[in-house]
Chain A
Amino acid sequence: DAGVTQSPTHLIKTRGQQVTLRCSPKSGHDTVSWYQQALGQGPQFIFQYYEEEERQRGNFPDRFSGHQFPNYSSELNVNALLLGDSALYLCASRTPSASYNEQFFGPGTRLTVL
Protein backbone atom coordinates (compact mmCIF):
# COMPACT_ATOMS: atom_id res chain seq x y z
CA ASP A 1 0.00 0.00 0.00
CA ALA A 2 1.60 3.22 -1.16
CA GLY A 3 1.72 6.05 1.27
CA VAL A 4 1.36 9.70 0.36
CA THR A 5 3.24 10.50 -2.82
CA GLN A 6 4.31 13.90 -4.12
CA SER A 7 5.74 15.14 -7.38
CA PRO A 8 8.11 16.46 -8.40
CA THR A 9 10.78 15.80 -5.80
CA HIS A 10 12.71 18.96 -6.57
CA LEU A 11 11.89 22.05 -8.61
CA ILE A 12 13.77 25.20 -9.53
CA LYS A 13 11.88 28.30 -10.67
CA THR A 14 12.62 31.98 -11.10
CA ARG A 15 10.87 34.92 -9.50
CA GLY A 16 7.51 35.76 -11.05
CA GLN A 17 6.92 32.29 -12.44
CA GLN A 18 4.08 29.96 -11.50
CA VAL A 19 4.39 26.44 -10.11
CA THR A 20 2.10 23.43 -9.63
CA LEU A 21 2.85 20.72 -7.10
CA ARG A 22 1.00 17.41 -6.97
CA CYS A 23 -0.04 15.03 -4.22
CA SER A 24 -1.67 11.62 -4.14
CA PRO A 25 -3.10 10.70 -0.74
CA LYS A 26 -2.70 7.40 1.01
CA SER A 27 -5.19 4.78 -0.13
CA GLY A 28 -8.55 5.23 1.62
CA HIS A 29 -7.85 8.84 2.60
CA ASP A 30 -10.07 11.65 1.36
CA THR A 31 -8.73 14.74 3.16
CA VAL A 32 -5.56 16.46 1.98
CA SER A 33 -3.63 19.25 3.66
CA TRP A 34 -0.67 21.26 2.41
CA TYR A 35 2.15 22.67 4.54
CA GLN A 36 5.12 24.91 3.80
CA GLN A 37 8.36 24.30 5.68
CA ALA A 38 11.10 26.91 5.42
CA LEU A 39 14.63 25.87 6.27
CA GLY A 40 15.09 25.41 10.01
CA GLN A 41 11.44 25.96 10.86
CA GLY A 42 8.42 23.79 11.55
CA PRO A 43 5.81 23.19 8.83
CA GLN A 44 3.20 25.92 8.42
CA PHE A 45 -0.36 25.04 7.43
CA ILE A 46 -1.48 26.37 4.03
CA PHE A 47 -4.91 24.82 3.50
CA GLN A 48 -6.95 21.64 3.72
CA TYR A 49 -9.21 20.08 1.09
CA TYR A 50 -12.15 17.79 1.68
CA GLU A 51 -14.81 16.75 -0.83
CA GLU A 52 -13.07 18.90 -3.45
CA GLU A 53 -13.51 22.07 -1.42
CA GLU A 54 -11.14 24.15 0.67
CA ARG A 55 -12.41 23.74 4.21
CA GLN A 56 -9.67 25.47 6.20
CA ARG A 57 -6.95 27.95 5.30
CA GLY A 58 -3.85 29.23 7.03
CA ASN A 59 -2.31 32.68 6.84
CA PHE A 60 -1.11 32.55 3.23
CA PRO A 61 -1.83 35.05 0.42
CA ASP A 62 -4.14 34.37 -2.48
CA ARG A 63 -1.12 33.56 -4.64
CA PHE A 64 -1.42 30.14 -3.02
CA SER A 65 -4.35 28.15 -4.37
CA GLY A 66 -5.28 24.54 -4.58
CA HIS A 67 -7.54 21.96 -6.03
CA GLN A 68 -8.77 18.52 -5.11
CA PHE A 69 -9.89 16.05 -7.76
CA PRO A 70 -12.64 13.41 -7.54
CA ASN A 71 -9.99 10.73 -6.90
CA TYR A 72 -8.88 12.79 -3.84
CA SER A 73 -5.53 13.77 -5.32
CA SER A 74 -4.61 17.41 -4.97
CA GLU A 75 -2.59 20.22 -6.51
CA LEU A 76 -0.97 23.25 -4.94
CA ASN A 77 -0.49 26.24 -7.22
CA VAL A 78 1.69 29.22 -6.40
CA ASN A 79 1.61 32.29 -8.67
CA ALA A 80 4.07 35.17 -8.97
CA LEU A 81 6.80 33.31 -7.10
CA LEU A 82 8.93 35.21 -4.59
CA LEU A 83 12.35 34.28 -3.26
CA GLY A 84 10.66 33.69 0.11
CA ASP A 85 8.55 30.91 -1.38
CA SER A 86 11.63 28.69 -1.44
CA ALA A 87 10.76 25.86 0.94
CA LEU A 88 9.82 22.22 1.34
CA TYR A 89 6.15 21.74 0.51
CA LEU A 90 4.53 18.88 2.35
CA CYS A 91 1.27 17.14 1.61
CA ALA A 92 -0.58 15.20 4.29
CA SER A 93 -3.68 13.02 4.14
CA ARG A 94 -6.02 11.46 6.64
CA THR A 95 -8.87 8.99 6.68
CA PRO A 96 -12.41 10.23 7.26
CA SER A 97 -13.09 7.53 9.84
CA ALA A 98 -10.26 8.47 12.18
CA SER A 99 -11.43 9.84 15.51
CA TYR A 100 -8.18 11.71 16.00
CA ASN A 101 -5.94 13.94 13.94
CA GLU A 102 -3.35 11.49 12.64
CA GLN A 103 -2.06 12.85 9.36
CA PHE A 104 0.24 10.94 7.04
CA PHE A 105 2.86 13.08 5.36
CA GLY A 106 4.55 12.67 2.03
CA PRO A 107 8.28 13.22 1.49
CA GLY A 108 7.70 16.73 0.17
CA THR A 109 8.65 18.79 -2.86
CA ARG A 110 11.72 21.01 -2.49
CA LEU A 111 11.04 24.29 -4.32
CA THR A 112 13.90 26.69 -5.00
CA VAL A 113 13.08 30.15 -6.34
CA LEU A 114 16.00 32.04 -7.91
Chain B
Amino acid sequence: DAKTTQPPSMDCAEGRAANLPCNHSTISGNEYVYWYRQIHSQGPQYIIHGLKNNETNEMASLIITEDRKSSTLILPHATLRDTAVYYCIVSDSWGKLQFGAGTQVVVTP
Protein backbone atom coordinates (compact mmCIF):
# COMPACT_ATOMS: atom_id res chain seq x y z
CA ASP B 1 0.00 0.00 0.00
CA ALA B 2 1.10 3.55 -0.70
CA LYS B 3 2.50 5.43 2.27
CA THR B 4 0.87 8.72 1.30
CA THR B 5 -2.61 10.25 1.39
CA GLN B 6 -3.77 12.79 -1.17
CA PRO B 7 -7.14 14.36 -2.03
CA PRO B 8 -8.65 12.60 -5.06
CA SER B 9 -9.21 15.73 -7.10
CA MET B 10 -8.90 19.50 -7.21
CA ASP B 11 -9.61 22.29 -9.68
CA CYS B 12 -7.41 25.29 -10.37
CA ALA B 13 -7.91 28.40 -12.48
CA GLU B 14 -5.37 29.03 -15.21
CA GLY B 15 -2.69 31.49 -14.08
CA ARG B 16 -3.31 30.87 -10.39
CA ALA B 17 -1.14 28.88 -8.01
CA ALA B 18 -2.10 25.26 -7.39
CA ASN B 19 -1.32 23.90 -3.92
CA LEU B 20 -1.39 20.11 -3.70
CA PRO B 21 -1.29 18.63 -0.18
CA CYS B 22 0.10 15.24 0.81
CA ASN B 23 0.24 13.41 4.13
CA HIS B 24 3.04 10.93 4.83
CA SER B 25 2.98 10.45 8.58
CA THR B 26 4.98 7.17 8.54
CA ILE B 27 7.91 8.48 6.51
CA SER B 28 11.29 7.08 7.60
CA GLY B 29 14.41 9.10 8.22
CA ASN B 30 16.11 7.96 5.02
CA GLU B 31 13.08 8.44 2.77
CA TYR B 32 12.57 11.35 0.44
CA VAL B 33 9.32 12.91 -0.72
CA TYR B 34 8.93 12.69 -4.50
CA TRP B 35 6.31 14.18 -6.77
CA TYR B 36 5.51 12.78 -10.18
CA ARG B 37 2.71 13.64 -12.57
CA GLN B 38 1.01 11.70 -15.31
CA ILE B 39 -0.63 13.45 -18.20
CA HIS B 40 -3.34 11.37 -19.85
CA SER B 41 -2.00 8.46 -21.91
CA GLN B 42 1.63 9.18 -21.06
CA GLY B 43 4.11 7.70 -18.60
CA PRO B 44 4.66 9.45 -15.25
CA GLN B 45 7.10 12.36 -15.19
CA TYR B 46 9.35 13.38 -12.31
CA ILE B 47 8.67 16.86 -10.93
CA ILE B 48 10.67 17.43 -7.77
CA HIS B 49 11.87 15.77 -4.57
CA GLY B 50 13.03 16.76 -1.09
CA LEU B 51 14.29 15.36 2.18
CA LYS B 52 13.56 18.01 4.80
CA ASN B 53 14.30 21.38 3.23
CA ASN B 54 12.02 23.26 0.89
CA GLU B 55 12.96 22.84 -2.75
CA THR B 56 12.28 24.76 -5.95
CA ASN B 57 12.99 24.02 -9.58
CA GLU B 58 11.72 25.29 -12.91
CA MET B 59 8.52 23.28 -12.62
CA ALA B 60 7.40 23.62 -9.01
CA SER B 61 8.15 24.23 -5.35
CA LEU B 62 8.00 21.67 -2.57
CA ILE B 63 7.27 22.64 1.01
CA ILE B 64 7.93 19.96 3.66
CA THR B 65 6.79 20.45 7.24
CA GLU B 66 9.39 20.42 9.97
CA ASP B 67 8.19 17.05 11.32
CA ARG B 68 8.22 15.71 7.72
CA LYS B 69 4.76 14.25 8.11
CA SER B 70 3.23 16.28 5.32
CA SER B 71 4.18 18.33 2.27
CA THR B 72 2.71 20.63 -0.34
CA LEU B 73 3.55 20.81 -4.02
CA ILE B 74 3.08 24.28 -5.46
CA LEU B 75 2.60 24.96 -9.16
CA PRO B 76 3.11 28.74 -9.16
CA HIS B 77 1.22 29.66 -12.34
CA ALA B 78 -0.94 26.77 -13.51
CA THR B 79 -1.49 26.34 -17.24
CA LEU B 80 -3.87 24.08 -19.12
CA ARG B 81 -0.93 21.76 -19.80
CA ASP B 82 -0.63 21.15 -16.05
CA THR B 83 -3.88 19.15 -16.10
CA ALA B 84 -2.73 15.72 -14.93
CA VAL B 85 -2.75 13.21 -12.08
CA TYR B 86 -0.17 14.21 -9.46
CA TYR B 87 1.42 11.53 -7.31
CA CYS B 88 3.14 12.09 -3.98
CA ILE B 89 5.56 9.24 -3.18
CA VAL B 90 7.94 8.48 -0.34
CA SER B 91 10.96 6.45 -1.33
CA ASP B 92 14.63 5.96 -0.64
CA SER B 93 17.17 6.97 -3.25
CA TRP B 94 17.17 3.63 -5.07
CA GLY B 95 14.12 1.49 -4.67
CA LYS B 96 10.65 1.05 -6.00
CA LEU B 97 8.22 3.91 -6.36
CA GLN B 98 4.94 3.16 -4.57
CA PHE B 99 2.21 5.09 -6.35
CA GLY B 100 -1.14 5.73 -4.71
CA ALA B 101 -4.23 6.96 -6.50
CA GLY B 102 -2.87 10.51 -6.76
CA THR B 103 -4.71 13.82 -7.14
CA GLN B 104 -6.47 14.59 -10.42
CA VAL B 105 -5.80 18.27 -11.09
CA VAL B 106 -7.93 20.03 -13.67
CA VAL B 107 -6.82 23.50 -14.74
CA THR B 108 -9.67 25.52 -16.19
CA PRO B 109 -9.50 28.64 -18.40
Query: Interface size class for chain A?
Result: 20 to 34
Knowing A41-B101, A42-B87, A107-B43, the reply to whether A102 touches B96 (Cβ < 8 A) is no
A41 to B97, CA, bound (A): 14
Q: Which of these, A4, A58, A103, A106, contacts B46 with CB under 8 Å?
A: A103
The residue on A at minimum CB distance from B50 is A100
The answer to whether A56 and B100 have CB atoms under 8 Å apart is no
The answer to whether A105 and B44 have CB atoms under 8 Å apart is yes
Q: Mark A84-102, 1 if CB is under 8 A from B, else 0.
A: 0000001010000011111
Knowing A4-B43, A102-B49, the reply to whether A42 touches B91 (Cβ < 8 A) is no
Q: Which of B7-44 contact A (CB under 8 A)?
A: 32, 34, 41-44
CB distance from A35 to the nearest CB of B (A): 8
A48 CB–B CB distance under 8 Å? yes
B45 CB–A CB distance under 8 Å? yes
B residues near A107, Cβ cutoff 8 Å: 41-43
The answer to whether A44 and B99 have CB atoms under 8 Å apart is yes
A residues near B95, Cβ cutoff 8 Å: 48, 56, 101
The answer to whether B97 and A101 have CB atoms under 8 Å apart is yes
Q: Which of A47-64 contact B (CB under 8 A)?
A: 48, 56, 58
Q: Which of these, B92, B96, B100, contacts A33 with CB under 8 Å?
A: B96
The answer to whether A106 and B99 have CB atoms under 8 Å apart is no
CB distance from A68 to the nearest CB of B (A): 16
Q: Which of these, B42, B46, B93, B101, contacts A42 with CB under 8 Å?
A: B101
A residues near B46, Cβ cutoff 8 Å: 102-104
A66 CB–B CB distance under 8 Å? no
A44 to B87, CA, bound (A): 12
The answer to whether A101 and B94 have CB atoms under 8 Å apart is yes
B residues near A102, Cβ cutoff 8 Å: 46, 49
Task: Return 9 A-B CB contacts under 8 Å, by A number.
Answer: A33-B97, A41-B101, A43-B44, A43-B99, A58-B96, A92-B44, A101-B95, A102-B46, A107-B42
| Top 10 A-B residue pairs of the complex, sorted by shortest distance between their CB atoms | A105-B43, A42-B99, A45-B96, A102-B46, A43-B99, A105-B44, A101-B91, A100-B93, A90-B43, A106-B43
